[in-house]
Structure 1
């Protein structure tokens, strides 16, 4: 129970000021938020730019504008950007190469220890005027997934493995059995609360609900596989659900932040969410991991 817990903060994502006015989108606001979180003890930061449609050099420039000053002062920060998505041609984007084109550019300029692999496909949506599901299919083919894993291997990124639903984990386990998971892999269980991924209305979500039996199902699948794992709740508040404490008690880690969080009655800052999470970690008796401890827990390349 005394083992350090990695607390990852997803600071912005697809959240905009109409959903939470505290979301950091400008470089200056991102820098202020990140420095505050690092000073408070956050273990890892996940970030988007103001425009997820940017690809290649344009996306890299947007990330570097925000992150170069942070990494000049805190070069050991454990952080990673998201993938590019050209929404004009659908959620899959123009090509898997285009979605990742900014990664090598950023990594050539500043330290970047983590990459993303979304190992599956899922319908993501919100209720239409009749209360029925609408939205889009987030598609990652097996070839796309192989490309992402190979990119992480080539550039020595520790893969952040987002598990939207159980089939995603099945794919991860297949790579694990084949000995093909890159060093630094971390499994992240995404649970869907009532407001779903986009918080445009309640009642349309994805994946498994954030309850104890759902986490038990994932841990049963992961039995005998020594990979670090975390829990998050999308379209809700992680700390209101038993999976948060249960994860801490079972040796897991926590993924929080304005990207995931939604509560129609409050709009907290990332720092407020972190401090609330820290209080739970203190209550359970697990200290929050430092940056160096996080690198060792994840076994990131170069650690």
Structure 2
């Protein structure tokens, strides 16, 4: 599986003394076009990282033109409390993305780097909207110090409560590799 950021991002975090700049990273539209073509030719599944709404608009333009690789998964990232990028992890923010992606048939999931995807309510909102959830320590800045295993168990319980049991390894491989 390949992965790409579908744009450039100027990262910063908010702290007691104000914003702190982090490195700029990402890809130009030309680089994105090249990578999408390479993945199509190699028939390689692709993880597309969406940090800003414009990233999703570019990916969807490729999809509309038939240029998105066949097995693409969209990862919607929401900025946690100190992460100064993208939309905040709220139902309203998710609804903006869902409105853009709901009728295109591309699997998607949510994550909250430097935040709390479960505690924010974003995980539950994503499950209710037909999406999936990424969990792990990168997506946790809540109370306590859970392990990745504990966070996965919490997400699995939440999914079960909404009739969305976790996918097993075979399910994931079938979804990505066909």
Task: List structure 1 segments (4+ residues) > 4 angstroms apart after TM superposition.
Answer: none
Residue 129 (structure 2) pairs with residue 250 (structure 1): yes
Question: Is the radius of gyration larger for structure 1 or structure 2?
Answer: 1
Cα distance, 1:237 vs. partner?
A: 1.2
Q: CA deviation at 1:129?
A: 7.0
Mark the CA change 1:129 to 1:279 in structure 2 (over 3 Å): closer, same or farther.
closer
2:54 corresponds, among 140, 149, 167, to 167
> Would you say 1:280 and 2:158 are equivalent positions?
yes
The answer to whether 1:294 aligns with 2:166 is: no
**Aligned-partner Cα distance in 2 for 1:242–1:158:** 29
Segment drifting more, 283-292 vs 205-214? 283-292
- Structure 2 runs not aligned, ≥5 long: none
- 1:67-146 correspondence runs (5 A): 114-127=1-14, 130-146=17-33
TM-score w.r.t. length of structure 1: 0.55
Q: Give the TM-score of the pair, scaled to structure 2.
A: 0.91
Q: Does 2:138 match 1:259? A: yes
Residue 115 of structure 2 corresponds to residue 228 of structure 1: no
Aligned residues: 178
Structure 1 267/155 Cα, relative in aligned 2: closer, same or farther at 3 Å?
A: farther
**Deviation, structure 1 residue 128:** 6.5
Classify 1:271/1:223 alpha carbon distance in 2 versus 1 (closer, same or farther; 3 Å).
closer
Alignment correspondent of 2:87: 208
**Contact 2:37-2:67 at 8 Å conserved across structures:** no
Question: Is 1:128–1:134's contact at 8 Å kept on the other side of the alignment?
Answer: no
Unaligned runs of 5+ in 1: 1-113, 197-204
TM-aligned CA distance change 1:285 to 1:224, over 3 Å: closer
- Answer yes or no: is the 8 Å Cα contact 1:192–1:235 preserved in 2: yes
CA distance in 2, matches of 1:209, 1:128: 16
Structure 1 residues 187-234: Cα deviation after superposition (integer angstroms, max 9, x where no partner) = 1110001132xxxxxxxx210001011011001111421111111111
State yes or no: 1:183 paired with 2:62. no
